[in-house]
């Protein structure tokens, strides 16, 4: 009796459908305060002054903090969770990513200040009293344009706005195949930026136990263990034994809740300062600015064919928008890096493959690809192709595809 195709009864549905789920925003801790984060309205600007005096005097306000307060307390920046080296062996550019902006903002929604108050309404009202002096500067909005000479420089640590230039493949073999090709098919693809927009907005609660010196973070996260490592070791410098991260029910994530976000560090640090729990929940429009966006790739593909239309070689070059900082804890072969910024720091990756070459994992445009002589192992979303079918001998997430690719010819140019 086969079990393939047999429906599996879900066990968790009853609790969720009857309102029995427990999400982070459902949790309230004793004495809890509320945080409201003031964000930049500019894609790129210099901060010349921040005046919080009026906000600190507002009703119900317990504290107002800026990036300089966190730096003075020894708080580090958000780290990149995965290092990549360029094809020349040089390490990727990793510009500083302060939890709260210090002297410059680099994207719309960049965190500038946080107001802690007895109620969310009081925190929101007080945030309107924070006076920030900006000197707006030119912004690089599109990834391809950001790589052009003369484009606005987003970070001095990333010259030319390039994070890394990465490549895999056998270039001489591929060039030889292209030289003898009867036809070369070219295609330009735009994998547009998207907002994940989960049903549950992100929410965090930071708590500090004065008796034990231990911190607890409740967060809508798909990756609590990595958050504890990154936030404890690199941002707040808290030993892991004194930091507990709790991920309750999560109402959708789509990968956007994998990352360690600034708000997690803000409320955890603030709880230690005010000695009371601090809660923050994103508004829907705020999530559009602060959550990790997806995609935003510009890809150029070239396919070499012989006279019988057999594939000889493939070249893929992708420019991917990663934003002004690179905190993605994911390698480039699964490119869900954070292209949420209005001022991009692109990465450039190139796939070069020739059928008949040794089997290797080749990567570009967020896809894992290994090319064989007559078949390819491709993620289903990367190419429209005929006769996809599961292959039990391969990893669960891979599919077999024959090499007859069904893509509308009007999108191709022939030479």
Mean pLDDT across 342-350: 59
What pLDDT is stored for residue 374 in this prediction?
Answer: 21
Q: Strand 243-246 and strand 61-66: pairing?
A: unpaired
pTM of the model: 0.80
R_g over Cα of the chain: 24
Q: Taking 70 as the threshold, does the pLDDT of residue 188 lie above it?
A: yes
- What is 197-251 written as a DSSP string? --SSPPEEEEEEETTTTEEEEEE--S-HHHHHHHIIIIIS---GGGEEEE--B--
**Run of H or E residues at 144:** helix 143-146
> Cβ distance 318 to 362 under 8 Å?
no
Q: d(Cα 370, Cα 356) in Å, to the nearest integer?
A: 11
Beta strands of 92-145 (E only): which ranges? 104-105, 111-117, 131-136
User: What is the pLDDT, as a whole number, of residue 349?
Assistant: 64
* Residue bearing the bigger pLDDT, 267 or 342: 267
Judge contact between 278 and 261, C-beta under 8 A. no
Nearest to 207 by CA among 244, 166, 251: 244
Q: Give 244-275 as a DSSP string.
A: EEE--B----TTTTSS--HHHHHHHHHHHHHT
Q: Which residues lie across from 216 on neighbouring strands?
A: 207, 244
Tokens of 76: 């580090």
Q: What is the mean pLDDT of the chain?
A: 82
Angle at Cα 245 formed by Cα 244 and Cα 250, nearest 5°? 155
And the tokens for 159?
A: 């010259």
What tokens were used for 307? Answer: 């006279």
401 compared with 145, residue with greater pLDDT: 145
Strand partners, 108: none
Q: pLDDT (tens digit, 9 = 90+) per residue, 190-249?
A: 999 999 899 999 999 999 999 999 999 999 999 999 999 999 999 999 999 999 999 999
pLDDT tens track for 54-86: 999 999 999 999 999 999 999 999 998 788 899
Residue with the larger pLDDT of the pair 306 and 254: 306
397-407 burial, b at 16+ Cβ within 10 Å, e below that, comes to ebbebebeeee
Edge to edge, the sheet with strand 165-169 lists 165-169, 346-353, 311-321, 297-305, 183-191, 413-414
């Amino acid at each position: 009796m086969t079990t393939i195709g047999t429906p599996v009864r879900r066990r968790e549905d009853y609790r969720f459908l009857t309102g029995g789920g427990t999400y982070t925003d459902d949790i309230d801790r004793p004495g809890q305060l509320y945080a409201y984060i003031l964000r930049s309205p500019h894609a790129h600007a210099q901060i010349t002054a921040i005046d919080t005096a009026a906000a600190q005097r507002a009703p119900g306000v317990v504290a107002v903090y800026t990036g300089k307060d966190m730096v003075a307390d020894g708080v580090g920046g958000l780290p990149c969770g995965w290092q990549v080296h360029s094809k020349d062996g040089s390490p990727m550019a990793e510009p500083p990513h302060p939890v709260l902006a210090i002297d410059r903002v680099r994207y719309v929604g960049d965190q500038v200040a946080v107001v802690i108050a007895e109620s969310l309404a009081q925190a929101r009202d007080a945030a309107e009293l924070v006076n920030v002096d900006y000197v707006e500067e030119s912004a690089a909005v599109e990834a391809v344009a950001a790589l052009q000479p003369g484009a606005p420089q987003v970070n001095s640590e990333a010259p030319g706005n390039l994070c890394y230039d990465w490549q895999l493949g056998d270039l001489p073999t591929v060039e030889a195949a292209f030289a003898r090709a009867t036809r070369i098919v070219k295609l330009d693809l735009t994998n547009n930026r998207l907002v994940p927009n989960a049903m549950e907005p992100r929410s965090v609660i930071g708590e500090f136990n004065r008796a034990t010196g231990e911190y607890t973070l409740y967060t809508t996260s798909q990756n609590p263990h990595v958050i504890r490592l990154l936030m404890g070791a690199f941002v707040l410098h808290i030993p892991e034994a004194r930091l507990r991260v709790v991920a309750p029910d999560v109402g959708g994530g789509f990968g956007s809740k994998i990352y360690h976000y600034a708000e997690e560090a803000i409320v955890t640090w603030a709880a230690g300062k005010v000695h009371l729990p601090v809660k923050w929940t994103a508004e829907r429009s705020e999530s559009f600015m602060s959550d990790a966006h997806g995609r935003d790739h510009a890809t150029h593909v070239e396919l070499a064919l012989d006279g019988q239309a057999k594939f000889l070689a493939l070249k893929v070059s992708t420019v991917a928008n990663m934003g002004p900082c690179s905190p993605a804890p994911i390698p480039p072969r699964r490119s869900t890096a954070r292209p949420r910024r209005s001022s991009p720091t692109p990465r450039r990756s190139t796939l070069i493959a020739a059928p008949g070459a040794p089997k290797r994992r080749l990567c570009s445009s967020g896809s894992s690809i290994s090319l064989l002589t007559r078949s390819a192992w491709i993620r289903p979303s990367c190419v429209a192709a005929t006769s996809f079918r599961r292959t039990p001998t391969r990893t669960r997430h891979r599919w077999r595809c024959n090499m007859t690719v069904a893509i509308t010819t009007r999108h191709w140019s022939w030479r």
